[in-house]
Structure 1
Amino acid sequence: MIRLTGSDGEHAVLHDMGGSGAPLLLTHGNSLNAGMWATVVPHLQDGFRCWGLDFRGHGAARPQHDDMSVERSRFVDEVLAAAGPLGGEPLLAAGHSLGGSSLLLAELAQPGSYTGLWLYEPLLAPPGSPRPEADHPLVQASRRRRIHFESLDEAYERFVSKPPFSGCEPEAVRAYLELGTYPTDDGAVRLSCSGDTEARIYVTGLSIEYTRLGTIRCPAVVARGGSGAMRNDIPPKLAQPIAEALGDGRLEVFSEFGHFGPMQDGAAIARSIRSHLEPLVAA
């Protein structure tokens, strides 16, 4: 486990998830952590050395301050900082939601950081798009989210009992919770990512002129699930315009999946990642 400390004292954590071959960086969505890739990684390890990144305030990267900054530039800095321990740039990377958009913004900030990208529903909206405010259902639901449980087992049973985690592979949910909880003084467990952190990340969403994405020349797959599979159908709707705007982008649709697609069928997601990134290793 490698700690990546930012200029404000907060940190991200890089996990060696095993395997052999070219290093592959895996980034996660809001409120999740590297454990979300648990059922994907076993199908990648014979071709890639997999590294999972926990953003600040997630997983093993517990916040150091109550007012931890969640500006999107902080996540971009953490993605770029991960390159050093992995041998420097350029890298191969796969990202989900917040993690996918952070990879795109990192490539814009530092062109040539990646030789290939695989992105599941990256959240980058064009200018003029409505941004979640304090009264948005997603924001309100995040703030109400329960974060204390009597045990890890209780947390697991609660999470798998209802969407979106009820539609995910049990091993992926368990791995997410094992990495994303810590024991409290009273013998219970608490989620590393608080509802407040999750809500503030939604509110700090940013927009970008898609014409800028045309400068990203590394081959990229933008994957999406089916529309209407979650309360917010914006993520799948953004996938096609993002793919079309990229300098070398391609859309891939998993109509049977929702926004948590990488946690729903690790083998299928791994096949897509390998199909796209393995030829880039040999090139």
Structure 2
Amino acid sequence: MMRLTTSDGEHAVLHDLGGHGTPLLLTHGNGLNAGMWATVVPHLQDTFRCWGLDFRGHGASRPQHDGMSVDRGRFTDEVLAAVNALGGEPVLAAGHSLGAACLLMAELRQPGTYRGLYLYEPVLVPEGFPRPDSEHALVVASRRRRIRFATVDEAYERFMSKPPFSLCQPEAVRAYVELGTYPSGDDAVRLSCSGDTEARIYESSVPMDYSTFSAITCPTVVARGDSPAQWNDIPPQMAQPIAEALGNGRLEAFAELSHFGPMENGERVAKSIRAHLEPLVAA
């Protein structure tokens, strides 16, 4: 586990998830952590050395200061810090939701960061789309989220009791909860990512000019879940326009998966990642 300190004193954490071969950087969605990839990684380890990034305020990276900045640029800083920690060469990377968006934003800032990208429903709201405010359903739900539990087991059972996590593989949810909780000192455990942090990240989204994506020419798959169980219709709705705007992108859709696809069927998503990124290993 590597601690990656950024210029404002906050930090991210890079986990060695194991495997052999070419480094593969994995990034997570808002409110999640590197544990979300638990059922994907075992199907990649014979080709890739997998590294999972916990953004500031998530997983093993708890906030260091009150009012921690959740500006998207800070998450992009952490992606680039992780790439540098892995040697600084163009890398292969796969991301989910917020993490997928930050991978793409890092390439915009520093062209040539990647040899190839796999983006599962990157949350990149185009110009002209309303951004989430304090009344948005996701923001309200985040701020209402329970963050204290008697034990890790209680937290796990709570998350597994209702969608979206009840639709996910238990091993993925367990890994997310174990990495995303810490002893609180009052005979309980707390979530590393508070409801307020998650809500502020939703509120921090900024409109993107999709025309700038044409400058991204590394081979990129934008994946989308087409399951009717979607919790938010914006990420899948944006997948095709993002893929079409990229300089070298294509869309891949999964009829049976939702926004939480990597946690719902790790083997299926790993197969898709391999099909795209493995041919680029020697590129």
- Please indicate the TM-score interval, normalised by the length of the shorter structure: over 0.9
C-alpha contact (below 8 Å) 1:26/1:51 kept by paired residues: yes
Q: CA deviation at 1:66?
A: 1.8
User: 1:159 aligns to what?
Assistant: 159
Question: Structure 2: how far apart are the matches of 1:207 and 1:240?
Answer: 17
1:197 aligns with 2:197: yes
Cα distance, 1:89 vs. partner? Answer: 2.0
Distance of 1:194 and 1:43 partners within structure 2: 31
Q: Is residue 213 from structure 1 mapped to residue 213 from structure 2 by the alignment?
A: yes
Deviation at 1:226, TM superposition (A): 1.4
C-alpha separation in 2, matches of 1:227 and 1:178: 27
- Is it true that 1:72 corresponds to 2:83 in the alignment? no
TM-superposed deviation, 1:184: 1.3
Given residue 169 of structure 1, which amino acid in structure 2 is its aligned partner?
Q
Structure 2 Cα separation of the partners of residues 256 and 281 of structure 1: 29
Match of 1:39 in 2: 39
Could you list the structure 1 runs, at least 4 aligned residues long, displaced by more than 2 angstroms after superposition: 227-231
Partner deviation per Cα, 1:240-262 (whole Å, 9 max, x = no partner): 00000000001000111111100
Counterparts of 1:14 and 1:176, CA distance in 2: 15
Give matches, 1:74-113, under 5 Å: 74-113=74-113
Once residues 147 and 113 of structure 1 are traced to their aligned partners in structure 2, the CA distance between those partners, rounded to angstroms, is 36
> What residue number does 2:240 align with?
240
Indicate conservation of the 8 Å contact 2:164/2:231, yes or no: no
**CA distances 1:153-173 after superposition (whole Å, capped 9, x unpaired):** 000111001000000000000
- Report the alpha carbon displacement of residue 282 of structure 1 after superposing the two structures with TM: 2.4
**Unaligned segments of structure 2, at least 5 residues:** none
Q: Secondary structure of 2:182's match?
A: strand
CA offsets 1:148-205 (integer angstroms, 9 cap, x no match): 0000000011100100000000000000011000011122100000000000000000
In 1, distance between residues paired with 2:240 and 2:185?
Answer: 47
Q: Does the Cα contact within 8 Å between 2:59 and 2:192 map onto a contact in 1? A: yes
* Residue 228 (structure 1) shift: 4.5
Aligned to 2:187: 187
- Name the residue aligned to 1:51: 51
After the TM superposition, which of the residue ranges 271-280 and 224-233 deviates more from structure 2? 224-233
Deviation (angstroms), 1:230: 3.0
Q: Which residue of 2 aligns with 1:10?
A: 10
State the secondary structure of the residue aligned to 1:52. strand
Aligned position for 1:281 = 281
**Distance in 2 between residues matched to 1:277 and 1:226, nearest whole Å:** 22
Structure 1: gaps (5+ residues): none
Amino acid at match of 1:221: V
Structure 1 Cα separation of the partners of residues 139 and 95 of structure 2 = 22
The one-letter amino acid paired with 2:173 is: V
How far apart are the structure 1 equivalents of 2:71 and 2:227? 28
Compute the TM-score of the two structures, normalised by the length of structure 2: 0.99
1:255 match: 255
Aligned-residue sequence identity (percent) comes to 73
**1:85-105 per-position Cα deviation (integer Å, ceiling 9, x unaligned):** 211120000000000000000
Is the 2:100–2:122 Cα contact (8 Å) retained in structure 1? Answer: yes
1:268 aligned onto 2:268: yes
| Partner Cα separation in structure 2 for residue 229 and residue 196 of structure 1 | 25
Q: How high is the TM-score relative to the length of structure 1?
A: 0.99
- Partner of residue 170, structure 1: 170
Match of 2:231? 231
Report the equivalent of 1:21. 21
Structure 2 letter corresponding to 1:133? D
Question: How far off its partner does 1:227 sit?
Answer: 5.8
Amino acid at match of 1:253: A
Counterparts of 1:230 and 1:278 in 2: how far apart (Å)? 29
Partner of 2:133 in structure 1? 133
2:39 alignment partner AA: T
**RMSD across aligned C-alpha pairs, in angstroms?**
0.8
Determine helix, strand or coil for the equivalent of 2:273. helix
Residues 70-89 of structure 1 show CA distances to partners (whole Å, capped at 9, x for unaligned) of 00000000000001221112
